Amino acid sequence: MSAQLFGNYINGEWVTSGSTFENRNPANTDEVVGLFAKGSAADVAAADEAAHAAYPGWSAMAGPARGNLLYKVADILDRKFDSIAADMTREEGKTLPEAKGEVRRAINIFRYFAGEGSRMPGMIVPSERDRVHMFAIPKSIGVVGLVTPWNFPSAIPAWKMAPALICGNTIIVKPASVSPLSAWRIVEACHEAGFPKGVVNFVAGSGGEIGNALVNAKNLKAISFTGSCEIGNWLHGEASKRRLRIQLEMGGKNPTIVLADADFNAAVENTVNAAFFSTGQKCTATSRVIVEDAIYDKFVAAVVERTKKLKVGDGMKPGADIGPAVDAGQLETNLKYIEIGRKEAGEPLCGGNRLTGTGPNGEDLSKGYFCEPTVFAGVTEDMRIAQEEIFGPVLAIMRAKDFADCMRIANGIPFGLSASVQTQNVSRVFDFVYGMEAGLLTVNLPSAGVEYQLPFGGTKDSSFGPKEQGPAAMEFYSDYKTVYLKY
């Protein structure tokens, strides 16, 4: 059976002309999940014109009416929930339960921002002057470009699309090339929900070509980007030349601090969960564990024992805890850093290899990009595996003298996305909350696994611009018009 062709979506039409690229299953590269129309700079220009033409009507529509369309998108995604989750596992590799969790989150995000359409609070404050009424009303900004990574291929497009749209902007979505189908499904739902033509546009294709065309698109007012620091920093430079608004969410090297008084078993479980689930491919995953000296040896032994029990295999099949790396390039990066780790810290205590044998359900792992979950101990701050983002199932365990030493090590990196502490001591909890240089903090939970109702984003080199999600998401996608009125 030949693979389905998925078109770009421009001005309310599916566009399939031109060349195509393949979307393959990273658990079994024999399977082509879909063929995608490869967008060009001309497609971006057409999408930009369509979004510009649609903007006056969309931005003038009442917020609750925009909200009703977002509710419809959520309902459509809900009806197709199982097949959308299965598509995600097939294109990205995460296990089916993880994919279901992500699709549920995308649906919740659409419902959350649909409700915001009935709120859209402005500001009213008393004037210093007599009989002057002063207030500020929120206002949309125009055509917005949304560039998304492969690791949360449904949730991240959702958490950019929904607030951008509810605030009255029109959008051009550029999904990651290795997992475009999940975002395409959301755009398909927008089409079915009956959005006016040109409000939502979707152009898949080479990041370099589409990204360059997008940042130079005539009518573009803002770009929201999630992905690597390398691309984000480049985009920042280009966007600054045109004075575009820009929001960047980028890499991390997230620590979990484990103190001697922690609930030991929970700390082990939280660490292993945060390091290895989703194959370590969450931006909020733990890649460094900093352990207080008093429990260091016992903790290392327990993490290694737990890690060895993880089952690596095709995420579509029952019982797999961890799926494959998303593509050959990410697998190569994992293996490269494992070699760097071997040179820096010695042989890993478990893992360390590509898996090519038989999986837990009899699947042939050599057809996919599977890597053993890998634990290095005795890692020190100066090592590359303690400083650089790997974005795979590779964990570095570090020894610290005491809590102050843990905090010093945890903060000793350029990134500041997420961080976790495992302790029963409330004073340490607050010292961590106020002293940790990261945008997302967890206490006695894994460092990864956030919801959508509060601001999301990092600090230091991990992020730039206003936060995403929760009420804070509206800041980036809207502006204020301030009115002084004498009556």
Of the candidate residues 8, 25, 40, 226, the single one contacting ligand NAP (CB under 6 A): 226
Interaction between residue 206 and ligand NAP (CB under 6 A): yes
**Residue 302, phi-psi category: left (phi > 0), alpha (psi -120 to 50), beta (remainder):** alpha
Of the candidate residues 12, 97, 142, 207, the single one contacting ligand NAP (CB under 6 A): 207
Tracing tokens 């961080």 back to the chain, one arrives at: 419
Please tell me the count of residues contacting ligand NAP according to CB under 6 A: 31
Q: Which stretch binds ligand NAP (CB under 6 A): 5-13, 49-57, 114-122, 143-151?
A: 143-151
| Own/partner pairs, 405-411, CB within 8 angstroms, 24+ separation | 406/257, 406/259, 406/290, 406/291, 406/292, 407/257, 407/431, 407/432, 407/435, 407/436, 409/255, 409/288, 409/290, 409/381, 410/255, 410/257, 410/288, 410/290, 410/436, 411/435, 411/436, 411/437
Site for ligand NAP in 389-418 (CB under 6 A): 389, 391, 417
By three-state DSSP, how is residue 169 classified? Answer: coil
Of the candidate residues 26, 227, 324, 416, the single one contacting ligand NAP (CB under 6 A): 227
Closest CB to ligand NAP among 372 and 461?
A: 461
Of the candidate residues 8, 23, 89, 148, the single one contacting ligand NAP (CB under 6 A): 148
Min. distance of Cβ 180 from ligand NAP in angstroms? 8
Interaction between residue 177 and ligand NAP (CB under 6 A): yes
Q: Which stretch binds ligand NAP (CB under 6 A): 60-68, 89-97, 201-209, 298-306?
A: 201-209
Question: How far is Cα 324 from Cα 280, in angstroms, rounded to an integer?
Answer: 10
Q: Cα separations (Å) of 300 from 138, 166, 197, 384, 409?
A: 52, 47, 56, 20, 18
Instruction: Give me the 456-475 binding string for ligand NAP, x by CB under 6 A, dash otherwise.
Output: --x---x-------------
Alpha helices (H) in 125-199, listed in sequence order: 155-166, 181-193
DSSP state of 224: E
Min. distance of Cβ 356 from ligand NAP in angstroms? 24
Site for ligand NAP in 252-271 (CB under 6 A): 252
Instruction: Give me the 351-390 binding string for ligand NAP, x by CB under 6 A, dash otherwise.
Output: --------------------------------------x-
Q: Which stretch binds ligand NAP (CB under 6 A): 5-13, 43-51, 124-132, 172-180?
A: 172-180
- By the 8 A CB rule, do 339 and 371 touch? no
Min. distance of Cβ 215 from ligand NAP in angstroms? 7
Question: How far is Cα 176 from Cα 183, in angstroms, rounded to an integer?
Answer: 9
Min. distance of Cβ 77 from ligand NAP in angstroms? 20
Interaction between residue 149 and ligand NAP (CB under 6 A): yes
Question: How far is Cα 470 from Cα 324, in angstroms, rounded to an integer?
Answer: 31
Interaction between residue 299 and ligand NAP (CB under 6 A): no
Closest CB to ligand NAP among 145 and 373?
A: 145
- Comparing C-alpha atoms, which of 252, 190, 268, 255 is closest to residue 456? 252
- Comparing C-alpha atoms, which of 393, 396, 293 is closest to residue 344? 396
Min. distance of Cβ 135 from ligand NAP in angstroms? 34
User: Residue 112 is which amino acid?
Assistant: Y
Site for ligand NAP in 57-116 (CB under 6 A): none
| Residue positions annotated with a catalytic role | 249, 283
Q: Which stretch binds ligand NAP (CB under 6 A): 116-124, 134-142, 202-210, 352-360?
A: 202-210
- By the 8 A CB rule, do 73 and 185 touch? no
**Residue 115, phi-psi category: left (phi > 0), alpha (psi -120 to 50), beta (remainder):** alpha
Q: Which stretch binds ligand NAP (CB under 6 A): 90-98, 174-182, 191-199, 355-363?
A: 174-182
Closest CB to ligand NAP among 39 and 168?
A: 39
Site for ligand NAP in 411-450 (CB under 6 A): 417
Question: How far is Cα 343 from Cα 337, in angstroms, rounded to an integer?
Answer: 10
Question: How far is Cα 201 from Cα 183, in angstroms, rounded to an integer?
Answer: 11
Interaction between residue 198 and ligand NAP (CB under 6 A): no
- Comparing C-alpha atoms, which of 260, 284, 259 is closest to residue 273? 284
Closest CB to ligand NAP among 150 and 277?
A: 150
Question: How far is Cα 222 from Cα 220, in angstroms, rounded to an integer?
Answer: 6
Q: Which stretch binds ligand NAP (CB under 6 A): 88-96, 159-167, 191-199, 250-258?
A: 250-258
Sites of contact with ligand NAP (CB under 6 A): 147-152, 174-177, 206-208, 211-212, 226-228, 231, 234-235, 249-252, 283, 389, 391, 417, 458, 462
